[in-house]
Amino acid sequence: MLVSGAALLLACLAFGAYDVFALRQAIVHNLSILAQIAGSNSVSALLFNDPHEAEKTLSALKAAPNILSAHIYTTDGQPFAAYSRDRGGEAPTLPPIPAGQTEARWFQDGQIVLVRSIIFQGKPTGSVYIQSDLREINDRLKRYAGIAAIVLLTSLLAALLVSSIFQRAVAEPITHLAGIAGVVSRDKDYSVRATPTGSGDELATLIETFNEMLAQIQERDGALKKAHGELEQQVQAVARRAEELTRSNTELEQFAYVASHDLQEPLRMVASYTQLLAKRYKGRLDSDADEFIAYAVDGAHRMQLLIGDLLAYCRVGTKGEEPRETSSEAALEQALLNLQGAIQESGGVVTHDPLPTVIADGAQLVQLFQNVVGNAIKYRSAELPRVHVSANKNGGNEWIFSMRDNGLGIDPKYFEKIFVMFQRLHGREEFSGTGIGLTVCKKIAERHGGRMWVESEPGKGSTFYFALPEKR
């Protein structure tokens, strides 16, 4: 609006200036012609020194209303004849014409003055002086300004009208669109929609596309929120399951402990009285009775062992001490002390590298070493049993203990089975035991956040490993 107004104004000014310039040129040209005519017609008057004749000639200038005055001068610059539109007035001093020129002109005080030499037969005979006002230019300028003002005003009005139409058709919907986009990005509210213009132009298409985009985002946002909610529910469900599992595990352990503990009492009665029977009546009944009693005694005895082992297994989880800094070397020494009798009897040798301080339940660590070393002594080959215990750091955050023996070895297909409760690879007649030892070891390792496994080959001995995290 402002720009178009300024451009229009500038154009008017330029046209005006050009017009004024052109008009001036025309006026000067006219004056020059008038001066020439007046000069030519005055030559004879000058030659015959007849000022009256010259003044008659000049008075013809009345026809040009813009001529203020006209004078003829003699060659020596004396006034010869004069014409004045408004009568009276002194003849001004003749301004000099620059050398080598026949005509000169000046603009001064809103007037134009033209002086021209009168040349007759190549000789200067006098001069013509014509003074004209610029009323014509001023009138024309005023008219011109009026027209320009009207044009300017009209075009500004037109521009205003156009721009207001444009504003309503384009700017308002775009501002509205920007506002909606702002709301969406600020409030993350994808349910808002831009109001369609209904104009069917590009803008309507833009708004429609924008709304479609919003609808898609809203749909995806909804799906995302739904998925997120579902995921959260699943996570919660998993956490609940884990909690339930932990609780039921604890309950199961507690149950196993209480059950086996309470079973001990009646079992002790069964065992004691079958033993008493055997003690007091052996050989006094028939041989069948002796055999039956012997089976009852044996069964009760084995059941006592199993229940004892079950209790020992349960105690790992329920009765353990809080793991603290413990010397694994001291734990091994204690285990070897507990096994002293068996080791000496077998003629075996147990050696070890320097062993680290770990975070563990000391009593359970002793039990672990004792069970594994005890097994190595028990399941020995024809050679004298040798066991070597060492420990290495793994990746900087775990201690891997290894207990290598030269015993019978284990078939790889039993690597899993030997860690399962009451699973045994040998008959009771071959080796005594219930099959709880390694199960307890594994549970101890796992209770410490570690693992336990075995590497072995039948006839080449076994190496049992357990890993303990260095930190709690």
Partner 1 sequence: MAINIGENGTPIEILLVEDSPGDVRLTQEALRDAKVQNTLHVASDGMEATSFLWRQGKHANAPRPDLVLLDLNLPKKGGREILEEIKLDPSLKSIPVVVLTTSTAEEDILRSYQLHANCYITKPVDLDQFLKVIKTIDNFWLAIVKLPSDPT
Binding site for partner 1 (CB under 8 A): 264-265, 267-269, 271-273, 275-276, 279, 304, 308
Q: How far is CA 5 from the centre of its chain?
A: 47
Distance of CA 13 to CAs 6, 18, 141, 172, 344, Å?
A: 10, 8, 11, 36, 127
For residues 84 and 60, the answer to whether their CB atoms sit within 8 Å is: no
271 versus 366: smaller Cβ distance to partner 1 = 271
The first and second tokens of residue 288, run together, are: 């069948």
Closest to partner 1 by CB, 91 vs 267, is 267
For the bound state, the minimum distance from the C-beta of residue 286 to partner 1, rounded and expressed in Å, comes to 23
Q: Containing H/E element for 255?
A: helix 202-281
Q: Which is nearer to partner 1, 273 or 281 (CB)?
A: 273
Say which residues have a Cβ less than 8 Å from residue 35's Cβ, sequence separation at least 6.
Answer: 103, 114, 115, 116, 128, 130
β-pairing, 324-327 with 79-84? Answer: unpaired
Please, which residue, 275 or 381, has the CB nearer to partner 1?
Answer: 275
Cβ closest to partner 1, residue 211 vs residue 304: 304
Q: Which is nearer to partner 1, 135 or 268 (CB)?
A: 268
Query: How does strand 451-456 pair with strand 462-469?
Result: antiparallel
Distance in Å, CB of 268 to partner 1, minimum: 5
**What's the sign of the alpha-carbon dihedral 416, 421, 426, 432?**
positive
Alpha-carbon Rg for the chain in angstroms: 65
Query: Smallest distance from the beta carbon of 403 to partner 1, in angstroms?
Result: 29
Q: How far apart are CA 450 and CA 53, in angstroms?
A: 143
CA distance 362 to 439: 18
The smaller minimum CB distance to partner 1, of residues 240 and 268, is found at: 268
Q: 369 with 331: CB under 8 angstroms?
A: yes
* 364 touches 335 (CB < 8 A): no
The residue (of 304 and 346) whose beta carbon lies closer to partner 1 is 304
Residue pair 11/152 in contact (Cβ under 8 Å)? The answer is: no
Assess contact for 267 and 300: CB atoms under 8 A.
Answer: yes
d(CA 424, CA 375): 12
- The closest alpha carbon to 120, from 75, 70, 56, belongs to 75
The pair of three-digit structure tokens given for residue 428, joined into one six-digit string = 């009771």
Q: Which CB atom, from 218 or from 275, has the smaller least distance to partner 1?
A: 275
User: Minimal distance in Å, beta carbon 318 to partner 1?
Assistant: 12
